Amino acid sequence: MKAKRSQPSASATQRVETPTPESPPPPRRRIDFVPMIVVALFVCLWAAFAWLGVFLPMKQRIAGVDPVGYYAWIHSLAFDHDLQFENEYLMLNGGVYLGPPFPDPNGPRTPTGHLSNPFSLGPGLLWTPFVFAAHVIAKLKGYPADGFSEPYIAAVFVANAVYGLIGTLLLYWGLRTWFTRGASAVAAIAAWAASPLLYYTYAQQAMSHTCSFFAMALLLEVWARLRLRPGYGPWAVVGAALGLATLVRWQNVTFAIIPAIDLLARDPKRNLPRLAVCAVAAVVAFSPQMIVWKIVYGSFVTIPQGSGFMDWRHPHPLLVLFSPSYGLLTWTPLCAIGLVGLFIWPKDNRLPFITLAAAFLVQFYVQSVAGNIGWTFGMRRMDNCVPLLAVGFALFSTRLHVRWGWSALVSGLFIVWNFLFVLQYAGFINQYYVDSAFDEFVRAHGTTRGQVLQTRRLPDGAPFDPRVFAFDHTFPKGGKPTLRQFTLDKGRVIQQIYRHVTKKKV
């Protein structure tokens, strides 16, 4: 009788380098081209907006309310070594007081003798590496090294664009935890380029929205990757990411619901210490804001805008979604797919997606009770929910078995639509709007264009200011666009792009 051959031990088989028929070679790792595609799209869009004259960092300004408030923190700390904001408020706005909620440079002080700054510290901290690089450039190129000259201003706009790029890459890597490469790529790119974030990546104002998107994409990525690992270290990292997101935009604190639900739903008794570690790490990461609050306001925790900023008892959810002036779905309709998909949970492994859906609902309520949104491209305040909507995109296509190629095609059409809308908002066809309104205006008054412009008066003797008229008839950044501006005028934008192309060729 033949003796049985003994099977090799596990350690022996691991040492075998030459594959055998019983042991096929491991598959070769494929190169992931998605990050390169994202970078290429980012560069192409930057080049397009710059070529069309709507995103020119060296020619833009930090001015207005929110941008000055964000930049004042880092400028005052880095260049003046204090937190007295008088010079920032005066220099950046040309000595003009813009009115509430902006503090009057010559007005009352806080109990500690400072001017109020009702904006978050986080964006300024994220801009800091770029501002320091600009400081070196300013000294080498002979610009005033005072934090106000062109290199510093350009650095902030470049920083915002770069954080939009990094946020999209982080979002893709976070989605890969649950979804295929194709579904993750389409969802990440669509969430960024077919949402309000496209404008704020290449914005004409130095806002905080791409910084918030970056921080929330980082939170999603580290939580998705680390949530099932043992120990306390992973939850310290998640907490630090949550603290950073809150440092950038304070309303992001509501996303503490993500680690809370995730940990307590799995094993409350065992995971409570992990949740405590997460909370401590979040507070430590948020502590720079608490320190400057203490210096400026005399308290580690405060509400600089005042308690009346949020009307908790009177939410307006339909306006958040459908307002003609800023609605998430009226301005960026592809977000509807992400919103629906966020509630189409898989049959197994539901907990992470239920957690994200709950976090979205809480943030949605917060946005529905917030105060006046002001000038805005779409629902900019929901920048922090864009990573969650990306999860919804991926869930929608995966659960309904939509091929990623079809998803890419539909998303591409909406991205083009959003690109054209950004051009409208940025003033690319404002001359058309002003000329059309002016022609109608002079016909209604029975006069001619030349007569009104020469005399600066109407036939009835009333004064006419062409600058005020032009401002009143550009694309309505703080009001309600017309139905034509939402729809048919996209063709007008394409026509203007064609004219721009042909002029360049002449």
pLDDT at residue number 97: 72
Q: Exposure of 61 by Cβ count < 10 A (0-12 exposed, 13-18 middle, 19+ buried)?
A: middle
> In this prediction, what percent of the chain has a pLDDT beyond 70?
92
The DSSP symbol for 250 reads G
Q: Of how many residues is the chain composed?
A: 506
Of residues 18 and 38, more confidently modeled = 38
**CB hemisphere CA count around 459 (13 angstroms):** 9
Average pLDDT over residues 246-261: 97
How far is the C-alpha of 415 from the C-alpha of 198, rounded, in Å? 9
CB 465 within 8 A of CB 456: yes
* pLDDT over 50 at 14, yes or no: no
* pLDDT over 80 at 367, yes or no: yes
* pLDDT over 50 at 249, yes or no: yes
CB 34 within 8 A of CB 67: no
Q: What are the residues facing 411 on neighbouring strands?
A: none
> pTM for the complete prediction?
0.91
Average pLDDT over residues 436-458: 90
| 371 pLDDT tier (thresholds 50, 70, 90) | confident
pLDDT at residue number 28: 63
* pLDDT over 80 at 394, yes or no: yes
* pLDDT over 70 at 505, yes or no: no
Least confident of 25-39, 109-123, 244-258: 25-39
pLDDT at residue number 103: 72
Average pLDDT over residues 434-449: 91
Average pLDDT over residues 204-208: 94
Highest mean pLDDT among 43-57, 80-94, 442-456, 474-488: 43-57
Highest mean pLDDT among 12-21, 30-39, 126-135, 372-381: 126-135
Tokens coding 160: 């915002």
* pLDDT over 90 at 76, yes or no: yes
* pLDDT over 50 at 95, yes or no: yes
pLDDT at residue number 31: 87
CB 306 within 8 A of CB 312: no
* pLDDT over 90 at 398, yes or no: yes
How far is the C-alpha of 486 from the C-alpha of 324, rounded, in Å? 9
Average pLDDT over residues 452-466: 89
pLDDT at residue number 24: 56
The DSSP symbol for 20 reads B
* pLDDT over 70 at 506, yes or no: no
Going by C-alpha positions, the residue among 384, 400, 391, 383 that lies closest to residue 342 is 391
* pLDDT over 90 at 3, yes or no: no
* Residue 475, φ and ψ in degrees, nearest 5: -60, 130
How far is the C-alpha of 278 from the C-alpha of 272, rounded, in Å? 10
Least confident of 19-23, 198-202, 286-290, 317-321: 19-23
Q: What is the mean pLDDT of the chain?
A: 91
pLDDT digits (tens, 9 = 90+) for 106-144: 778 899 999 999 999 999 999 999 999 999 999 999 999
- Say which residue the tokens 């081209």 belong to: 33
How far is the C-alpha of 239 from the C-alpha of 415, rounded, in Å? 33
- Say which residue the tokens 């902006």 belong to: 102
pLDDT at residue number 107: 76
How far is the C-alpha of 127 from the C-alpha of 141, rounded, in Å? 21
Average pLDDT over residues 12-19: 38
pLDDT at residue number 7: 45
* pLDDT over 50 at 372, yes or no: yes
pLDDT digits (tens, 9 = 90+) for 209-234: 999 999 999 999 999 999 999 999 99
pLDDT digits (tens, 9 = 90+) for 52-75: 999 999 999 999 889 999 999 999
pLDDT at residue number 29: 67
* pLDDT over 60 at 341, yes or no: yes
| 504 pLDDT tier (thresholds 50, 70, 90) | low
| 312 pLDDT tier (thresholds 50, 70, 90) | confident
